[in-house]
Amino acid sequence: MSVIKLFLVLVVLVILGVLNNYAAEKLSAIAPLTVKRTHDFMITGDGSSPEWVKTEWIPLIKLDAGGEEDKTRFKIIYSSKGIYLLFEGKDQKITTKFDKDFDNLFEGDVYEVFFHPDPQYPLYLEYEVNQLNKELVLLIPNIKGKLIGWRPWNYENDRLVVKKIHIEGGKIEMGGVINSWSAELFFPFALFNPLPNVPAVSGTTWNANFYRLDYDTGKMIKWAWMPINKSFHEFEKYGQIKFE
């Protein structure tokens, strides 16, 4: 290789290094999403509680081409007992064949949330819910990309996720034609035990990501709060949430 070519290669490598550092700095400079404090309240599925007025809608970004440009968004607030989450998205039909809890819900339409309370440990909670009000709850140990989900033990009483679904423009049935659907959820802090950095109190920071999957086109279409490349388990790309 000539001296000139070697010089040009070095220049390119330096530029790429600068760009990568700049991108990393920009990502780390994103301010955490503030999770505002609330009083505990009854969920309805449609987000009609006045407590939701305390916070703003956050949009999800459509990651894949194809299908409708369905607007999808979420809200999040918390109390001393746990975290409230509200998803809302336009839709055309209920595309899922799963009508039992802990089925492979991700092979049909779902909203998903991943809570990573302490980024020092590759352990996080995955939660999915579909239009039929069925759920999948998993603790994920993700060791250098090797991962598998573990179901919660004694998943009852104060450890249960409280969930309700609301459908606009149709019925809650497989294949049903609809206009939109929402999911209102409550995650008790007791469910996260014994993960570190739990329960969240004022000033606590977690990592998290929020997703949607839709199969109306016959293929998987993804939405995300913080974009990922292929897998929802790219926990290094999750955003920060900070409890007020």
For residue 180 the two structure tokens come to 């939109």
> Do 136 and 187 lie in a common domain?
yes
pLDDT attached to residue 58? 98
Mean pLDDT over 141-169 rounds to 95
Domain that holds residue 23: 1-30
> How many domains in the chain?
2
> Do 18 and 87 lie in a common domain?
no
Residue 125, exposed/middle/buried by CB under 10 A (0-12, 13-18, 19+)?
A: buried
Does residue 222 have a pLDDT over 60?
yes
> Do 42 and 25 lie in a common domain?
no
Mean pLDDT over 4-11 rounds to 41
> Do 5 and 79 lie in a common domain?
no
Cis ω before 119 (30° cut-off from 0):
no
> Do 101 and 21 lie in a common domain?
no
From the list 86, 34, 27, 33, the residue with the least C-alpha distance to 227 is: 27
User: What pTM was estimated for this model as a whole?
Assistant: 0.87
Q: How confident is the model at residue 2 (pLDDT cuts 50, 70, 90)?
A: low
> Do 17 and 38 lie in a common domain?
no
> Do 203 and 125 lie in a common domain?
yes
> Do 107 and 198 lie in a common domain?
yes
The residue written with tokens 């449609």 in the block is 46
> Do 40 and 146 lie in a common domain?
yes
Report the CATH number at residue 103.
2.60.40.1190
Print the SS3 string covering the chain: CCHHHHHHHHHHHHHHHHHHHHHHHHHHCCCCEEEEECCCCCCCCCCCCHHHHHCCCEECEECCCCCCCCCEEEEEEECCCEEEEEEEEECCECCCCCCCCCCCHHHCCEEEEEEECCCCCCEEEEEEECCCCCEEEEEEEEECCEECCECCCCCCHHHCCEEEEEEECCCCCCCCECCEEEEEEEEEHHHHCCCCCCCCCCCCEEEEEEEEEECCCCCCEEEECCCCCCCCCCHHHCEEEEEC
Mean pLDDT over 91-112 rounds to 98
> Do 73 and 163 lie in a common domain?
yes
pLDDT attached to residue 68? 87
Q: How confident is the model at residue 26 (pLDDT cuts 50, 70, 90)?
A: very low
> Do 153 and 215 lie in a common domain?
yes
